[in-house]
Structure 1
């Protein structure tokens, strides 16, 4: 057995003439190659590997890449790290330009500048920026500003008790844990917009330095906080542990949906190593970006002044945004938020067919396939479900008629074959309430309201979403109820019960497919609600 590149040799110890082995003996050996020969051979092997497209030997650079690379990380790690490296270079270069613009705005280099006043303004803008970052961090766990909530408030104020219109769905902004890609783009936009404001500060005059620099510093702190908060979830997906199935997935509930087989164990996570190497890459990129920024600053500032700095920033900012988008695009997140679940369910139902017949072998989309279709641009609805699905609506909007309507919407977890409804004190109904508004002459698309009850688990969330998309497919493909003369309530209840039976029959297969391709279920890995979503609590439930 040879360990340590030929330095240590383990040999069995011979006991007498019988050649019996009684243990192991350590023998040190000398290397036949000189130091220069080893370096030359190592460099030649690296060059040959690069020509062949094999990057396995890159793992011998321990200060820059995770240990045992590429086997210890996700296959898309190289693409992610490369684009992040280029984006950090562009971002660092742009910050050098903005710093020079701020120094010019505060009066550094002019005879009329007061050193004490300039230093005081600089310190004050840093203090205001840090305070703004603290306030922003206190709201990050809620998923940021919920535009649907404020849109509803604005509509209520403007209508002032007049005609009420039905809410046309909402979408999930997500937190840094559930939607790190969107927050990573928020960070990049905040940093670049803040840098742009700093560059434009000299054009506004010295009296505008403090307000402009303070706002820009708030934006930078927001960007740094958003980037650091989203980095953990991204690195987890790229690490060894993130590329495997979870070790614990609510076994008591999983047994209901999956086959009786030994639980799948996860490998040891190297999240710390991936994070540390990312820090090393960021430092090197920052040093290179600073050098490039100094060169551009000296060139453009000396020749074109602030206009030249602004032109250089536009190019660097475009490169920063493009590299950031490309980097997070390839990250295969293994948790399910509303948008990723929308992609999975839409593909699954369309591939299985409208009726979701039993016995059709099919796999759900993998995290890598979903990553290719995922949309994560800030403040933009990621998919068309915002037009027909509302998650977390209040009870008064779901059941304006009172308790009788609520009782009609309660569904037993297991179909009993009759039309009876469970009492409010029963524990056997679904942990969600689904109200269906079928298409009509005034509303051709229809509408679905989904609200979860307190205590709903990841499996309950999946059941509610699967039921909603099944009802949506039913309304789009079955035209029997579109021409029915019955009331909207009766049609909605009919669709609700029919699709609930289909969901109950197909749910075990769907859960098994999700786990087979690597999606994490359990321990809060499935989130679909937005910041203003409600959860209902029924007494004695």
Structure 2
């Protein structure tokens, strides 16, 4: 029987069928190539240039909506950029007979130097925050960038010394934007890529940005040609920035992250306490883009306290000492440390309170042991929520606090054990660490 070979692309679509005919009189055979009946149109082939191979199966469901808004924001940003660039050229002396090219060059070097130094410091200080809080930093990056545009626009009205300061600060903001946007974009791309096609997805995203930026530049060139008055220029700039920020907000809103950062872990915790296992899409609709650092929220959205994950051992020692400072007893301070170590001896972390409660809010921290895993961090965060939201013990009541710590330790462990499989089935990634936002430390305790 003559073989029939069907060829598929990465998405499982038929690209061609090969049929071998029977041998002829001279012993030769022929292979006929049959194209698919539903072959792609020229428009679809053009889209394939800008979409990941295997789309839509190779990316998550939220990819398209995010890219649409991301393209719109890039277009409006290109127009705003041209308007601010014209103001910068005016600031450095274009059209001014007394302006010196050397002075303009030195100003550019100074701006670039300040911006690069800011980039290094910003990346060092917040480097670990970008991935867990990528949605927040993606929007923050554009807020910083747009603030830089506004500073560029107002710079010509100031004297030259002040103008240099304003333009330098604008350069710093754009440098911070570059760090935050680049890091957040990398995390979002990793979220979108389902087939391990991160490199190809980034390449196609670059192609999209190139086309959109080119279109924005063409449109912006018409805008700057037609608009010359200050009123019209500011109107066009504010309109462009408004569209830019709103489309950015909608873009990050469209993303449903599968990792559990501190805010999403809090929302999931409250759902599980009601017996409901939420999906990433449900939680995405509830989460804030900007959230207070380390906040512990009750079910009614009120603040119950704050918690830091990955604190140092010295913080635990200071907390124990402070809680017993009124006794003036070194022995009691040592007993407090021994109590904390004993309670969490079988646990891969230590959860404690480092200062007196204020306004009925707990201030907690987690010291991670050397073998702590992302799931252990999740249990620690849920225990902190249970302790802050369900406890009414005054932090000055040492024995009451210890009893609550013991009770909540079992609650958080049981909660994860009961719902771990169902959470993974709902689409949550419990193996990725997204609860640490600073370079934390680990401790190894030996008897």
Q: Shared topology, TM-score over 0.5?
A: yes
Given that residues 334 and 367 in structure 1 are in contact (C-alpha distance below 8 angstroms), is that contact kept between their aligned partners in structure 2?
A: yes
* Alignment partners' CA distance in 1, 2:360 and 2:45: 54
* Alignment partners' CA distance in 2, 1:113 and 1:98: 19
- Note the C-alpha offset of 1:521: 2.4
Cα distance change on mapping 1:31 and 1:521 into 2, 3 Å: closer
2:112 equivalent in structure 1: 126
In structure 2, the gaps of 5 or more residues are: 325-332
1:474 equivalent in structure 2: 390
1:531 equivalent in structure 2: 438
Given that residues 262 and 294 in structure 2 are in contact (C-alpha distance below 8 angstroms), is that contact kept between their aligned partners in structure 1?
A: no
Q: Does 1:218 align with 2:139?
A: no
- Note the C-alpha offset of 1:383: 6.2
* Alignment partners' CA distance in 2, 1:492 and 1:228: 43
* Alignment partners' CA distance in 1, 2:37 and 2:426: 48
CA RMSD of aligned residues (A): 3.6
1:26 equivalent in structure 2: 31
2:100 equivalent in structure 1: 114
Q: Does 1:140 align with 2:126?
A: yes
- Note the C-alpha offset of 1:82: 0.6
Given that residues 238 and 331 in structure 1 are in contact (C-alpha distance below 8 angstroms), is that contact kept between their aligned partners in structure 2?
A: no
* Alignment partners' CA distance in 1, 2:221 and 2:419: 56
Given that residues 59 and 67 in structure 1 are in contact (C-alpha distance below 8 angstroms), is that contact kept between their aligned partners in structure 2?
A: no
Which of 216, 234, 237 is 1:289 aligned to? 216
- Note the C-alpha offset of 1:532: 8.0
2:227 equivalent in structure 1: 300
2:239 equivalent in structure 1: 315
2:351 equivalent in structure 1: 434
* Alignment partners' CA distance in 2, 1:322 and 1:460: 37
2:19 equivalent in structure 1: 11
1:70 equivalent in structure 2: 56
Q: Which structure carries more relative contact order (alpha carbon 8 Å, separation 6+)?
A: 1
Structure 2 counterparts to residues 181-200 of structure 1, below 5 A: 181-200=135-154
Q: Does 1:233 align with 2:187?
A: yes
Structure 2 counterparts to residues 23-62 of structure 1, below 5 A: 26-28=31-33, 42=41, 58=44, 61-62=47-48
1:162 equivalent in structure 2: none
* Alignment partners' CA distance in 1, 2:33 and 2:45: 26
Q: Does 1:370 align with 2:270?
A: no
In structure 1, the gaps of 5 or more residues are: 18-23, 47-57, 144-174, 241-267, 353-361, 414-427
* Alignment partners' CA distance in 2, 1:381 and 1:500: 19
Cα distance change on mapping 1:104 and 1:474 into 2, 3 Å: closer
Which of 377, 398, 419 is 1:510 aligned to? 419
1:339 equivalent in structure 2: 263
1:447 equivalent in structure 2: 362
* Alignment partners' CA distance in 1, 2:445 and 2:417: 29
Q: Does 1:399 align with 2:320?
A: yes
- Note the C-alpha offset of 1:6: 9.6
1:327 equivalent in structure 2: 251
Aligned length, in residue pairs: 418
- Note the C-alpha offset of 1:538: 5.3
* Alignment partners' CA distance in 1, 2:73 and 2:222: 18
TM-score by length of 1: 0.68
- Note the C-alpha offset of 1:380: 7.2
